[in-house]
Structures are given as C-alpha cells and as structure tokens.
Amino acid sequence: MPLPEAFDYWVPDGLELHPGDHVIAPLGQRRAHGVVWAIKDGPGERELKSVESRMDGAPIPEGTRNLVDWAAKYLVQPPGILLRSVLRSQDALKPSPTETLYVRGDAEPPRMTAAREKVLDAVDSLTEASAADIAREAGVSSGVVKGLAETGALHSITKLVDPPFDKPDPELEGLPLTQLQAEAAGVLRRLVKTGGFQSALLDGVTGSGKTEVYFEAIAEILRQDERAQILIMLPEIALTEAVLSRFEKRFGAQPALWHSGAGPKNRRRAWREIAEGRARIVVGARSALFLPFPNLKMIIVDEEHDPTYKQGEGLHYQARDLAVVRAKLEGANVILASATPSLESLTNAQAGRYVHVRLPARPGAAILPAVDTIDLRETPAEDGRWLSPPLIEAMRDTLERGEQSLLYLNRRGYAPLVLCRKCGHRMVSPDTQSYLVEHRYTGRLVCHVTGFSMPKPKLCPNCKAEDSLTSVGPGVERVAEEARHLFPETRVEIYSSDSSSGADIVERMENSEIDILVGTQIAAKGHNFPNLTLVGVIDADLGLAGGDPRAGERTYQTLVQVAGRAGRAERPGRALLQTHQPEHEAIQALVAGDRDAFLETEIMAREMLGLPPFGRMASIGFMAMNPKAVEDAAANFAAAAPVTDGVEIWGPAEPPLAIVRGWHRRRVLVRADKTIDMSAYVRAWRKRVKTPPSVRVSVDIDPYSFL
C-alpha cells in the first residue's frame, strides 16, 4: 500500500518468520497480505496486533527488498508502490495446480464400440490429453473416456499445470564468431570470471552480432554457477520472439518470458519458477526488473538507449538505470548493449565507470548502408503525396532487383489530424487537448493518448457542413496507400503497434513474402531482414522540434536504427532520408557516419546547460478536475520550494497536453547541479506543502516525456 513505512506487528508464539516471508495480518477491519520487512527483538513499547499466519510461497529475496527500498527513496515514492510492482501474481504463491491426463494403457477394452474406437484413435493422435480434450477430439462424451480408463485401456497420469522450465545448456555451440566478436566476448567472459558487480557497455554498430557476443557471457555465467539466474531486458514485446528463437538454438531451451502480453497463466508460472530459483534465464520487458530473483548474477539491457525503458505513467522509473542499481545491490554483472548508446551510458564509459566493449563492423561481407538525404525543399513530393521522386525511383530500382524496401514513419493510422475545410475546426479527443488520428481501415478517429475512438462523422460537429472533414498529414496507412498506387503489383504491408499479427509480418518479411514494408518505430528495432536493401525515411525531421533536451539524440538514434535495417546480409544497403533540415547536426552526422562528432556537440550543449547527464532534472505534475484548484496548488507548491544554490525552478506552467480525460494539468520543472541530491530535495519540498485531496501530485525524477 502507498504508506511511508512498514507497520509493526507481534510475532505470536509458535510462528517462525523471516524477512521476505508472506503473511496475513489484520489491517483496520480486514485481513491483508503483507511482506515481512524486518524482525526486531525485544518487548517493544507499543501494544501491537499480531500476525495471523504465514503464507506458502517463496519469500521475497533480500536483493529484491533492497531494490524496493533504494528505488522508493530515489523515486520519492512510498515503498509499497514499488512492492506492488514485485507482487504481480498472487496465485504464484500457491503450488502449481495439477491436471489429470490420459495416455494409452496396456489392456484392451473387453467390449469395443464405435465411440470407444474413436477415443483410442484420438488418444493415439494426441499422445496425452485431458478427458475433455480427448472427448472433444473424438466427438463423444467424457464418460466414454473415463469408462475406458476403468478398463485399463487408458492410463491416467497427474501433471503440473505449470511445469518447470528446461535447463539451458551452455556447452552447445553457438554461431562462429568473427575475430572482433571473439575479442568482445573474451572481455565479457573475463568480467564474469572476476566476479562481483561489473558493468559493461557493449557498443556495436547495427548488425554487428551483439546478441551472439553477450550469449557467450551468459554461457560463462551458467558454467560458473549452476544456480545462477540471468535477466535479458528488451524494449519491445515484438522483439521477444526473435530473441527466444535465437536463445533456444544457442542453449537448447526456451527462457521464461515476462511481459504484459504473456497472460495470467504464463506470468503465474514464470513468477513462481523465478522466485523458487528454478527459472535460470528470463527474457522480459522493463517490469521484469522487479521480479524476485533469489540468485541474480547477470542483467543484460538490450537496446539500452531505447526511451521505452522509461515508465511514463504511474510509477515513473528508468529501467536501464535501475538495472545497473539492481546489479550493484546483487553483486551481479550488467551489460548494456546498443548500436546507438545513450549519452548517459557513453559518459559513464568515458569516465571509466563502465567497461567499453566495441564492435565497429558487421561480420562477413555485410557492410553498413550508405546514407543520403533528399532535400524536400528542392525535390518535394507531388501535392497530396508524401514520397519524393528520388525515393520513388530508388524503390523502383530495388523492386526490379527483387529486393525489399522499408518506408519508415513514426505515425500510426492514416492521418494525424482531421479538420473541417469550411470552418477550420480540428477534431480533438473529448476532455483532452489531443488531436484525433484517422484510421481509415477501421473508419474511426482514435486518440493515442487516452484510447478514445469514434466513427468518423459525416458532418462537422462545429458548423454541421457535410463531407467537409479532410485528412491532414501522413500516417503509415496513407503512405502504404500511396505505395500501392505507385506499385500496384507489389505486396505492401503495414507494421505498427496496431498490427494484430506482428510476428507473422516479421516472418513473412524475413522470407521475402513482402516487397514494401511501411512501419513505425516497432519496425526499426532489432529485426534482421536479409533481403531488405532500401530504407526510406518519410519525415526525418519528426521529433527534432519541441523543448525536449534529448530530441536531437533521440532523432539520431532512431535514424541510425532504422537505417541499420538495410543491407544486413551480402547485399549492400542504402538509406534515404526525406528532410527539410539536411543541415541539422543529427542528420549530417548520420550521412557522414561521424557519430563521435555529433555526440561531442550534444555533450557540449548539455554540459553548458547543466542538463543530464551533467545535471539533474525532476518534474512535479499536478492534476485536478477543477482548473483553478490545479493552478492554485501548483503555484503554492512552487512558492514553497527550498532555496538552495545550484537549483533552478521553472514554472508552474501548462504542459503541451494541458487537459487529459478532463483533468487539468500543470507542471513544475526542476534543474539542479549534479552535486545536488535531487530526490532528497524533492522529498523535503513535498513535506513543506499540504496539497488538497482534489489535486493529484506526481513526481518524476529524470523525466523523459515533456508532454
């Protein structure tokens, strides 16, 4: 619960408890599930209630409890909020349920009927199955199955519904490594052998084989400690299938999977097996960081630069940074892998806090793609179109060679804005200052902030003009429509977070069953398409505008990642960037292949302004249904800021999205020198101010989103 500290209870005679145990204890008028945080000796001075009972299930390990305490303090959150992220599956505290399955027995039934013959045929095809599944397959009632079991023709067996995961085998051979890969793997193996907390930045160009290199570090850990557990974090669920397949080939077993789309049954199984120490390898999204590993020895953060590692709603945390903290608390290794490392990780490597392991080239004949810009000021697309003549010509040449193209635009739907030609009215989400995005395939207007959707109306809601609503700007659906118009004989597919069959699209792209893939950022991450040789970026300027201090860095990282999808096999690749700002530092650095020059410019700018990683930032958000209430609360809070050298207060001000779901918003930004303990400063500040219950206050240490 969101309480500032743990509650004290008596331990009754005859009940033995230890830190981490799950217990039932009275809380007010109800019985609540709690976790023992500490045991104190002595009679105490207060009259206390007693713990009622200890629950079954693996205790929360010390390393996980230490992470909860550390993160609560750093993020300025009640520790119970962090513990809620650990206890994701209450059912996992119970033993695995069992099920009765039937297999073919030794005896022949004394009397054979048509129904019984169907059941035996069904069992032969299914090998082992429940009575209900066998009956369904045979088209008979479950009674026929159970009757055969009584005769001995079928034999019942009891199995766990949540079986343990197979053990990985570190001695299986992986892919042959190049000399560069072998040297990088050797560095990581030496870190493993050294033992204790070790951190490394695996910095390799796209397609350089970073996964195979860190697989060697995993194998070394598994050889050293037969109980060792390893966590591989990925920024996107869409990447897990590819990693699972590669992992199974390398180690002969699939790892446990943890993400929001895994389903309650799979997460229950994973949580229990992890807590019991039986799941040796876990592949998961950012929330996997809070799983109760009793013997965590290595954390790998793949695509460590990815902004999705920052949790933007509810509990605000940066999973990459917390992964380093957890590794230190556990005395484990941590490997941060990326083709475009974050400025934070690079400066840590330059300062010697991380071992810097480089992979500067792709293996074999594969080379990095050539990158060129298309200046839309000189060669614009036709009116109402979004593909420029040079990009169209490059796509035509690519298709004639039997190769694939990827058109990248990080905008879902058909058009990002719908407005009325008559009165200029813009369609926005109710009670939210967010434009409705047209999704033409479904005929709906969707708010990507709140999830609100509605059919596209025939009449303008403002002036009532009929058929006056028009689409403005491109989304991936609109670009795909244009590609089909230009190349009617080609196979065009869209890949975005709206796609219902992402794994199928990736497989078909790998098998060259798609000619042109139109995708958002999800298509730019980690995929290996051997026949893809052309990447066209529809709007390279998208993301450069606004007040985000990381805008240039993010744009550069995204463009490098998407360009890196091209030419990953023997065929050379090419990337074309449509832009109105070909002179921008991020785009110039990408064209020149000069990452160091771009990063030097970014580092100088951040250092001059005292922005992360050379300073600290925090965002304090305020929300209320009443606009005056939120305005007064934000102003009162800002006025109570402790006066401290090296701290600047900006605001309160309206964020770009000033209203969301009817909640009015204000924000105060704080910038501080690196020597300031930002968490302690904000914690002391909050204690000075009593905010009305009608106003919600949120704290985000080191914010990534400024909407």
* Paired tokens of 352: 């010697």
Same domain, yes or no: 193 and 73: no
With respect to residue 465, please indicate whether it lies within any of the assigned structural domains.
no
Same domain, yes or no: 405 and 545: yes
Q: What is the pLDDT of residue 97?
A: 82
Q: What is the pLDDT of residue 502?
A: 63
Same domain, yes or no: 116 and 239: no
Q: What is the pLDDT of residue 102?
A: 82
- pTM for the model: 0.83
Same domain, yes or no: 527 and 675: no
What stretches of 12-161 show up as alpha helix (H) in DSSP? 62-75, 79-86, 114-126, 131-138, 142-151
Same domain, yes or no: 377 and 257: no
Same domain, yes or no: 213 and 318: yes
Same domain, yes or no: 126 and 70: no
More confident residue, 321 or 146: 321
Q: Answer for the pair 38, 77: CB distance below 8 angstroms, yes or no.
A: no
DSSP bridge pairs for 405: 516, 534
List Cβ neighbours of 412 (8 Å cut-off, separation of 6 or more).
437, 439, 448, 475, 476, 496, 497, 498, 520
With respect to residue 486, please indicate whether it lies within any of the assigned structural domains.
yes
Q: What is the mean pLDDT of residues 520-547?
A: 76
More confident residue, 566 or 403: 403
Same domain, yes or no: 565 and 635: no
Give the model's confidence band at 355: pLDDT under 50 very low, under 70 low, under 90 confident, else very high.
very high
Q: What pLDDT digit, counting tens, does each position of 159-168 carry?
A: 888 888 889 9
Percent of the chain scoring above 90 in pLDDT: 35
**CB atoms inside a 10 Å sphere around CB 570:** 10
Ranking 251-255, 266-270, 545-549 by mean pLDDT, the lowest is 545-549
With respect to residue 169, please indicate whether it lies within any of the assigned structural domains.
no
Q: What is the pLDDT of residue 380?
A: 87
With respect to residue 430, please indicate whether it lies within any of the assigned structural domains.
no
CATH of the domain at 376: 3.40.50.300
| SS3 state at 428 | strand
Q: What is the pLDDT of residue 352?
A: 92
CATH of the domain at 660: 3.30.70.600
Give the model's confidence band at 188: pLDDT under 50 very low, under 70 low, under 90 confident, else very high.
very high
Q: What is the pLDDT of residue 216?
A: 93
Q: What is the pLDDT of residue 83?
A: 93
Q: Is residue 686 within a helix (H) or strand (E), and if so which, with residue range?
A: helix 678-688
Q: What is the pLDDT of residue 150?
A: 78
Q: What is the mean pLDDT of residues 242-247?
A: 79
Q: What is the pLDDT of residue 546?
A: 56
Q: What is the mean pLDDT of residues 551-561?
A: 79
Same domain, yes or no: 397 and 326: no
List Cβ neighbours of 94 (8 Å cut-off, separation of 6 or more).
56, 57
Q: Is the dihedral of CA 214, 219, 220, 224 positive or negative?
A: positive
Q: What is the mean pLDDT of residues 307-333?
A: 92
Domain boundary among 68, 88, 108: 88
What is the DSSP-derived secondary structure letter of residue 544?
A: S
Give the model's confidence band at 323: pLDDT under 50 very low, under 70 low, under 90 confident, else very high.
very high
Q: What is the dihedral of CA 132, 134, 137, 141, to 10 degrees?
A: -60
Q: What is the pLDDT of residue 572?
A: 76
More confident residue, 534 or 326: 326
Range of the domain at 312: 179-359
Q: What is the pLDDT of residue 238?
A: 61
Same domain, yes or no: 651 and 548: no
Q: What is the mean pLDDT of residues 200-206?
A: 89
Residue 292 has pLDDT above 70, yes or no: yes
Q: What pLDDT digit, counting tens, does each position of 86-107 carry?
A: 987 777 888 888 888 888 877 8
Residue 408 has pLDDT above 90, yes or no: no
Residue 592 has pLDDT above 70, yes or no: yes
Strands (E), 434-489: 437-439, 444-446, 453-455, 469-472
Residue 570 has pLDDT above 70, yes or no: no
Q: What is the pLDDT of residue 662?
A: 83
* Paired tokens of 634: 């934000």
* Paired tokens of 544: 């450069």
Residue 365 has pLDDT above 70, yes or no: no
Give the model's confidence band at 429: pLDDT under 50 very low, under 70 low, under 90 confident, else very high.
confident
With respect to residue 168, please indicate whether it lies within any of the assigned structural domains.
no
Q: What is the pLDDT of residue 44?
A: 63
Give the model's confidence band at 22: pLDDT under 50 very low, under 70 low, under 90 confident, else very high.
very high
Cα angle, residue 513 at apex, residues 508 and 519 outer, rounded to 5°: 65
Q: What is the rounded average pLDDT for all residues in the chain? A: 86
Give the model's confidence band at 499: pLDDT under 50 very low, under 70 low, under 90 confident, else very high.
low
Q: What pLDDT digit, counting tens, does each position of 457-488 carry?
A: 888 888 888 888 888 878 888 899 899 999 99
Q: Answer for the pair 497, 522: CB distance below 8 angstroms, yes or no.
A: yes
Q: What is the mean pLDDT of residues 331-349?
A: 92
DSSP bridge pairs for 653: 667
How many distinct structural domains can be found in the chain?
5
Residue 340 has pLDDT above 80, yes or no: yes
Give the model's confidence band at 542: pLDDT under 50 very low, under 70 low, under 90 confident, else very high.
confident
Q: What is the pLDDT of residue 472?
A: 81
Q: What is the pLDDT of residue 364?
A: 59
Q: What is the mean pLDDT of residues 370-395?
A: 88
With respect to residue 447, please indicate whether it lies within any of the assigned structural domains.
no
Same domain, yes or no: 511 and 626: no
Q: What is the pLDDT of residue 173?
A: 87
Q: What pLDDT digit, counting tens, does each position of 115-127 carry?
A: 888 888 888 887 8
With respect to residue 449, please indicate whether it lies within any of the assigned structural domains.
no
Give the model's confidence band at 43: pLDDT under 50 very low, under 70 low, under 90 confident, else very high.
low
Residue 294 has pLDDT above 90, yes or no: yes
Residue 432 has pLDDT above 80, yes or no: no
User: For residues 89 and 682, what is the distance between their CA atoms, to the nearest angstrom?
Assistant: 32
Q: What is the pLDDT of residue 304?
A: 92
| SS3 state at 368 | coil
With respect to residue 442, please indicate whether it lies within any of the assigned structural domains.
no
Q: How close are the terminal C-alpha atoms of the chain, in Å?
A: 28
Residue 199 has pLDDT above 80, yes or no: yes
Residue 568 has pLDDT above 70, yes or no: no
Same domain, yes or no: 187 and 276: yes
User: Could you tell me the CA-to-CA distances from 556 to 295, 420, 599 in Å, in that order?
Assistant: 38, 35, 10
Q: What is the pLDDT of residue 213?
A: 93
Q: What pLDDT digit, counting tens, does each position of 628-656 carry?
A: 999 999 999 999 999 889 999 998 888 87
Query: Residue-wise over 238-272: b if at least 16 C-beta within 10 A, else e?
Result: bbbebbeebbeebbeeebbbbbeebeeebbbbbbb
